[in-house]
Amino acid sequence: METTRLAHFELPPQWSTMRKTEKIERELGKKFIHMEKGDYISPEFKPPEEAIEAVRDSVKSGKVRYSPGPGIPELREALAVEMSSRGRDTKAEEIIVTPGAKFAIAASFLLFLDAGDEVIMPDPGYPPDEFWARYQKAVIKYLRFEDPRRVDVEHMDRLITPKTKLVVFNTPQRPNGQLIENTAEIAEVLLRHPHVTIVSDEIFARVVFEPFKHQSLSYYTELRDRTVVIDTFSKGFVMTGFRIGWVTAPEHIAKNYDILVQNSCTNVSTIIQKAALAALTAPESYSKELIRTLQRKRDIAWNILSASKSLRTENAQGAFYLLPKLPHGLDDEKIVDLLLDHGVAVVPGSAFGAGGAGHIRLTFSLEDEALAEGVQRLVDVIDGRQ
């Protein structure tokens, strides 16, 4: 039966807890410890001061007109330097500035997929990937993992057919904060399938904890010309509300993102692009402090979780999430509702795909005290059920 593009339209499941807490807080005045949001929660996290100054300056100096669709040249240059320093030799023409990484995800699915095309994506993964694949009436296949850090490459190889258009990765991964470690094995398989384009969502590339190192398939020169990297200022610079990200792709692919941006939003606000440029060129101490603070919070949460007698938690290598595994037989959605009764808000792992079922995801970017209190309460509730 022919379905419409809107047949699957529903509010994203990963924000269901947020919608519930918002309603309860508004109607009943009850307060929660919020660990369900994919954002910086504690006010101690701020964008670089230079970015705020740049917003003031560009408004004052009247830089409030349209600007070039793919991004202002100085920002594209600076992003090319950023990507080159990570390991992908990049020219400014290969950078397209987008209104956030999420727009870049939508653009990727719109640009590469037609009805009936096949796309491979991680499970658990980022729900908007699946949303846009369905919108395009593509056939979705899920990547399997040998463990949270290793893609099962033999399985991936078997999933690829002549109809496979895209393989999507995200690393550091959400919802679990683990890096994909076996990039060399993945690259080896993908080299044998030259018709496949790779979309690598690397929005936490700058949020990786020592001693781990961010790895990208785009660093493999043989894959570079068919790999699109998606990144954002949201996570590396605490600029979630600024709505600015970028795509790095070979010129022949970048040109299509450029056309899509120009025909949809024209250009990302010039004011915001100036702020992004200032953030990127802010002193290195900014990023070091951000990582140090996040690492401290990660360890506060992980130390409490690892003392639990029933939860199993891998410590995060990057990002600001932990994904504790519930004891066998507990339903993640029911546990999330139970935790809400105890004033703690987290997300059921199943909201990120079947592979997330039996887990709960929490964000650790809260004030230290609230974080410790929230995680301890969570452990007490779940251990108390055993």
Ligand X SMILES: Cc1ncc(COP(=O)(O)O)c(C=O)c1O
Site residues (vs ligand X, CB under 6 A): 38, 100-102, 105, 126, 170, 174, 201, 203, 232, 234, 240, 245
Query: Between 254 and 304, whose beta carbon lies closer to ligand X?
Result: 254
Query: Between 194 and 241, whose beta carbon lies closer to ligand X?
Result: 241
Query: Between 107 and 304, whose beta carbon lies closer to ligand X?
Result: 107
Residue 158 CB, shortest distance to ligand X, in Å, is 25
Q: At what angle do helices 284-306 and 368-383 cross, to 10 degrees?
A: 30
User: Across-strand partners of 208?
Assistant: 318
The residue assigned the tokens 């010129």 is 251
- Is the CB of residue 217 less than 8 Å from the CB of residue 200? yes
Residue 273 CB, shortest distance to ligand X, in Å, is 14
Residue 90 CB, shortest distance to ligand X, in Å, is 19
Q: How many CB atoms lie within 10 A of CB 251?
A: 11
Query: Between 78 and 244, whose beta carbon lies closer to ligand X?
Result: 244
Q: Which of 381, 385, 340 is nearest to 16 (CA)?
A: 340
Q: Which of 309, 303, 275, 311 is nearest to 368 (CA)?
A: 303
Residue 102 CB, shortest distance to ligand X, in Å, is 3
Query: Between 260 and 304, whose beta carbon lies closer to ligand X?
Result: 260
- Is the CB of residue 347 less than 8 Å from the CB of residue 273? no
Single-letter code of the amino acid located at 63: K
Query: Between 203 and 279, whose beta carbon lies closer to ligand X?
Result: 203
Residue 276 CB, shortest distance to ligand X, in Å, is 11
Q: Cis ω on the peptide bond leading into residue 175 (within 30° of 0)?
A: yes
Residue 191 CB, shortest distance to ligand X, in Å, is 25
How many Å apart are CA 246 and CA 24, to the nearest integer? Answer: 36
Q: What is the number of alpha carbons within 13 Å of residue 38 lying toward its C-beta?
A: 21
